[in-house]
Structure 1
Amino acid sequence: MTDAPVAPLTDADIDRVVLAFYAEIRVHPVLGPIFNGHVGTGAEEWRAHEAKIGRFWKKALLQQPGYDGNPMAVHLAAGDVRPAHFDPWLELFETVTHRQLPAPQADAWTTLAHRIGRGLRLGVEDRHRPKGSVPQLG
């Protein structure tokens, strides 16, 4: 017997998860100050950020056009993003996604989020690694 196919995510699913996730990010004791420092604290600033991140996920998950940013460059340019920030980000993302979606869709999305997070973390680690030191892979 084969596993049943995962029902596709919709635009509405992505929007719902992004809104719920960033509502929690804003008040997170570690991540909130970082995000609020870069995004801002106003409702309009957060709406613009959530829309941009929604476009990112719609491109990644649904192959929709509309996002043309560079997440690695943004994380590196931020200056205050550290490798240790990725674990709580991913943990919170997984919690919110599983709260908002059926398990198969949430699992598929969070698997991709972990893959993207690993790549971003490696880039941030490389940026903060002392010059001439050997990179840690994995």
Structure 2
Amino acid sequence: MPDATLTETSLAAFLAAFYAKVRQDDMIGPVFARAIPDSDWPRHLAVIQDFWSSVLLKSGRYKGNPFGKHQALGGLEPAHFARWLGLFEDTAHAVFEPAVAGTMIERAHRIGDSLKAGLFFRPDSQVP
């Protein structure tokens, strides 16, 4: 039965399920594999937990720079974000009741839109 509330425990379960899918995905799994060695996944998941806890539960634990981390990866395309969001949505709907899943998905889209704007928006450099 889907969780009706978002807690640190339910968030951790969601993230474990979600990133298991991400790591197995044909499109974005290789991106993560290049950036995060298998031995570093526990540390990475802890950082991700801090990030989402800060975003969704307002814990304030995350102190990093998600834009800088994504920018440093290089080779990211909008299709990578679309796939990530699709897996995020599927997992959120499977783990949480609709209201909780909807809140998480809305936040993920806002964050994704912000990252994509920073990474891919290139205004025309020619002024008429």
Q: TM-score of the superposition, structure 1-length normalised?
A: 0.83
Distance 2:123 2:21 in 1: 33
- String of CA shifts for 1:38-71, please: whole Å, max 9, x gaps: 01123xx111111110100000111112210111
Which of 11, 19, 23 pairs up with 1:14? 11
Query: 1:119-138 maps to which residues of 2 (within 5 A)?
Result: 119-126=114-121, 129=122, 132=125
Distance 1:77 1:67 in 2: 19
- Deviating beyond 4 angstroms after TM superposition, the runs of 4 or more aligned structure 1 residues are none
Please name the residue that 1:24 is paired with. 21
Please name the residue that 1:84 is paired with. 79
**Counterpart amino acid of 2:94?**
R
**Counterpart amino acid of 1:125?**
F
Paired residue secondary structure (2:38): coil
Structure 2 portions without partners, runs of 5+:
none
* 1:83/1:124 contact within 8 Å kept: no
* 2:5/2:96 contact within 8 Å kept: no
- String of CA shifts for 1:11-39, please: whole Å, max 9, x gaps: 01110111001101111000000001101
Quote the sequence identity (%).
Answer: 38
Distance 1:76 1:131 in 2: 21
Q: How many residues of Structure 1 are paired with residues of Structure 2 in the alignment? A: 124
Distance 2:71 2:96 in 1: 31
Which of 56, 64, 87 pairs up with 1:61? 56
User: Which one has more relative contact order, counting CA pairs under 8 Å at least 6 apart?
Assistant: 2
